[in-house]
Structure 1
Amino acid sequence: MERIVSAFTGSSDQLDGKMATLKRKLQGLESKQDDVKEELKQVEYSFSTKRPRKEVQHWLAEVERIKTEVQLKEQEVQESRSRWRNQELHRSVDKLTTDVEELAEQSKFPRGLTLESHEREGVPFPTNILIGETFQTNKSEILDCLMGDEDSAIGIYGMGGVGKTTLLTHIHNELLKRHISVSWVTVSQNFSIQKLQHDIAKAIGLDISKADDERKRAAQLAWAFQRKKNFILILDDVWENISLEKVGICVGENGRKLILTTRSLEVCRMINCEKKIKVQPLSNAEAWALFVKTLGNQTLLSDQIEGIAESLVEECDGLPLGIIVMAGSMKGVEDICEWRHALEEIRDVKHDDMHRVFHVLEYSFRKLNGSPKVQECFLYCSLYPEDEWIPRDELIEHFIDEKLVDGMKSRKSQFDEGHVILNRLENICLLEGSERHERVKMHDLVRDMAIRVTRVGPPRFLVQARMKLEDIPNEEKWSEDLVRVSLMANNIKSIPFNSSPPKCPTLLTLLLCNNEFLRVIPRLFCMHMKSLTVLDLSDTSIESLPSSISNLESLTALLLRNCEQLRLVPSLENLTALRRLVLEGSAIEEVPKGLEKLINLRYLSFENCCDLLTIPDGILSKLSQIEYFKSSGRVTLRGKEIGSLEKLKTFSGRFEDIGEFNSCIRLWEEWEPEEYVIVLGNCCFDRTGIGRHVILNEFAADSGDTLVWPRGTEYLKLDECHGITSLSHIATVKQPTDLRDCHVISCHSLRHVICSCCSNVPLFQSLEILQLEDLPMLTDLVERERSPSSAGASSMLPIINGHHRYLQLVEIIGETSDEDENRESTTAVMTMLPRLKYLYLIDLPELKSFCNSSIKVSDSLEHIRIGGCPRLMRITLLREEPHPSLRSIWVEKDWWDTVEWKHPQTKDVLQPYVQFIPTQLMPVVVIFSHERLQIASLFKMPKLTLECLINA
């Protein structure tokens, strides 16, 4: 009995310890919850269009639920001293502790707490219009099932090309309109549970990258699903049975549902779909309506042609994909002979429905025989994995490498030609385009057709992309007539040394990219590939390149992007045909030998090569054909070498001192690259977008140092630059520039932005955004003189951003007399406000009044926000009559109740716009506007006074 009591007491003590640990972890979680709430509160009380992400809202709700459960469990633990249920409580407390730890881990929110104004958690997909009563009936039936409580898994099945994905796309968009959370994942053939888990996690905003096995990932996904309500997961193009439990998909409760498309009824049964809906081909009338709609109004059909066209549509057997592709191929055709020929070609096939639709697709491809380059570009797309969205720019780079576009044109002209080709393929429905026109994709049946064409050739392709291969294909598959081989996105780990090198004398393209486990390639692997033009080993783990690469004299593109283990590259001196060399993200420590011999090189990238510290003098100047050059940020470049590259169109690199910077820019006086990011000082490449950017980072200017300014610069950033007292003094500019955006951060010697003696300097004449942050010595925006001309200088400051909590302002625009020497400035400031939309007065403890009543304020004013201004007792900016554009006034209630109004009725007129906010809001200070200005805010500028702003 004593042992039992002792065991019980020990168990109670252990339970107390667990409970104490749980409460400690909960306190940490509550602290994170408070931080999240505070950040969201700041967003709520601003005029931002941001809103909390759904996963953040869900997380906050889960924290509240856990807090309640912990309180209840704590009470149970206290009462359990007289009960024999400690074992059950142990399990409950352990479960709660695990839940708290998981919530703490999720609080990192890698995508941030809020959606930006341009983000949407569900984006409608572009889609074709649904034709026919059957489609409408199916759509209504599926939506009814999704909205009901009975069916948790719905299977949509039917033959390839019948329109399952199109139907589901309309369902997806309709769900978004009804504000229902929905995520879409394309499965495809050759799926793996691991890839599907990661795709689903990405779709629902869950990070499972740290989970190292299938079960852990499934547990995390299941946890995320169980906390969702009214959520629908779409799995498109399912080919085989998927164990929902193994993946971690939990549906059936709280409105969580699964909907999938497949070609097989058996798949629907194996996945236990309660509702199974078959998509049938279109009727003749529906098929004709779809054909006419796709053909468009620009194609006029005579009575004779219309009869042929109707027969042609009948041959498509009601399959929307075949009808759409056939109509695309006949757009603009008005010669009856061509229509008769098309019908004859299609009728030659007497196979089953699938063979017939393949023949329809192939006919549309063959119809491009007058444009062999377009045909080749189309077939090239089939080298990518099934259902892969392919970036247009990446495709066009390959077209350039393969000489499928005119190699003698400029880089810009080549890209234009590439886009024209892709547009044509989209227009005839052989490719699908994305909503933003940035990517293209092949329908899986269209891709199958392309692979069928290339399997028999010419040209002969070997395509086994994303087929879960662990070894390269057998020797017999490497036939001597192969032209292109794609083994991308597999699990190939090595190529056996004892295997015979493939004998492919006509091979032009070898794509081994995205085989992340590939480490070793035999030395002689490429010895029988004398015609090889493009070799892509990007995103592999290779440590060195095979020496046989050095003899590939026809090679035009060697792509080694993100080969993070690659240190050794053999001599390239024999590769004189090479036009594109990509080594970005590799571990090379020195440039490859023979680089200076590559006289035809047009594209060279050492970007993100962190171990590359120098490029020997004289090499770059010999590469006179270079159009695209990006170097590692750790490499110090020579100004004269870069400036001498007269064909350079895109540049990214760093100069260590002003002398090298100026040497380059002086050579650019007659021309400039179309895009560039130039860093002066320490390594810092924080602008990756297209444009012309200059960054001064941790740079110390000596007395008398002046930059020769690139006239096309659009963005300028100074970060921790010392010795600079005014932006006007850092640059010599002879003519107006294109500078639009200027950020100045942590430059502790900066006293003013613009010197009054040169306030109209061309450097600033186009300025639209000026962001100032952490500038403790700043006293003026414009250096003051006795008789400043405010309008001239201020017109250059469309947007001002900065950081400081307390800006000591007494009056922004006060009552003045005729003799007041600031009257001219006061009027000038207010005449800059014709487009004032936002007015923020925040944390101004000394501010007493705002605005002379004699000054007219713009009718564009929309939002006013006043907080932390305890001494502001008089404001005449707000009129007594209704304001034409006013939408909201955010104020502290205490202030609103005590503020004085010149006209008593003003308060009543404005009351409908008022919303109350708590005190101590975020440190935004004051916002003005003029012709361009909409928002301005000042932060971390303790020495900046109102007089400086007015005198600007």
Structure 2
Amino acid sequence: MSTELRSRKKLKRDVQIWLEDVERIDGEIQSLDGRIGKSSAITRGFRAEDVLKMLKEVEEHIQKGKFHEGLVVDNPQWIGQVLSVTALSGEAAQAYIEEIWLYLMDDEVQKIGFCGMGGVGKTSIMKLINNQILKETWNFNSVIWITVSKEMSTAKLQKDIASKIGVTFSGDEDETTKAGMLFETLSRKSRFLMILDDLWDRIFLDKVGIPEPSAGSTIVLTTRSFDVCRQVGCCRVVKINPLAEEEAWNLFLEKQLRFSYDRLKDLKLQHCFLSCALYPEDFRIKEEDLIQLWIALWRKWIVGRQSLTGGYGIMHNNWNTSSLGRSWCEINGATKCAGIEQGPGEGFIDGELGVTTSLSFANVTTKILDLSRNPIMSLPISIANLKNLTALLLGECQNLEKEPSLSKLKFLKELDLHATNIKQVPHGMENLSRLKYLNLNDVELDEIPIGILSNLSLLQNLIIGEMLIRGEELHGLKKLEILKGLVLKKLPELKSICSADRVVVCDSLDYISVANCLKLKRMPLYLSHLHNFQPSPALSLSVYIEPKEWWESVEWYHPDTKSLLKPFLSLL
């Protein structure tokens, strides 16, 4: 019978009477058993007739309990399902409940987002609200709770919604037909509340069959991602704060962390996630540096849309989904965390060394060497022993004046020397044929000697400051053809970025930053991906300009470019 007692159903009247008789007969049996237990051996035999009578009544009642036409009927008074939930304590939880409740009581608020990191109580809070609304039915005529599956699909979502609102699919309908059936049924409902719990990705309501809420209806979604709230069109977003430190570590030790790990899907991103376990006690790291190290971890460097800029986008999106809370904390001791596997068996050296004259490297399998922001003045010759090295990060080592030969680092893919004190390009750099990222910004180099860049045929990202590069050196760098980001900063004498009559066609540019280039009067860029399609929030494009006066006066190749860029513009 438990399978019959599902949402939107109630017991038939004769079934209710039958169950009431079961309780009555059970009480009589218990009473008879008590009387027999108190009887003496002589008087107990006189109770046999009562027992036989009771057995006959039980048998007859069992026969009456065969309801061949079913146990339940539709319940027209059903408005929603009460959910099992543990009571929450604390002022913070109550504050979130009151804020969401306030929005639910406002007919002008039709979509509400409730976002925050995993495990902090979003679902529990919404369950409490769900149950409270069912007690006060005057504001909503129906409450529909949908738990979005981890591997969400339109078909699965449609099936779950259909089961809650009484729509039956025959199995022959396609997704469009199902969406129409759901849309028609939900459109007839006045003042419905739909709660979409644990939404990981954007959904298109019309594709699923959910009408835009109106006339007192509301959609609430819980998610880890603020972007999901924005993409679905939530007009109110409630952000739940991260847990207190002790609560956060308790969550870290539980299996919720494994869920975030599994949800990343891509093996490279999972390796990035696991790399966080490599940092020593009391270690602090900037978000930007962590992202750069993640990129260095990837075995197969990315091309096309997943270029370096794309890599930053992917990492930042993952960082911003609130899968992880962001704060400094101290780690004392090592505790094994449930559900998390050991990271990939690859070497990693990172940390503040301080001033040292005895730095040396054995022939180890280290793949990433990060000495950024250290006061070292030189690197030992033994760095050549790190033959498996793929990333050498020395950014902001302001005392670093010279490096040994890098010619033996055949597998090096990333070399960061920005803001160092080197006066010449490291010896052997022309042999780094696998190099894909080179950062020489803010170094005292007037030019890169002939014969170096031309040998780096796989170079995808070249970051330089004010230095001379001969045109023939760039001719062989075919991987630089896809321009993803253009940054022009503090170039007071810059008047043009190409010949006067030429136009640069940029079909992949998604980042433009121009600051304090006041003599630059013309931007000869044709952004084909912007002109060929209608601008929308889904287009990945960021434009940062300083000052505002330059933006207002600069001329673009196409007269419509400035107006098309406005939705993506940030004036600094």
Scaled by the length of structure 1, the TM-score of the pair is 0.29
Greater RCO structure (CA 8 Å; 6+ sep) = 2
TM-score (norm 2): 0.45
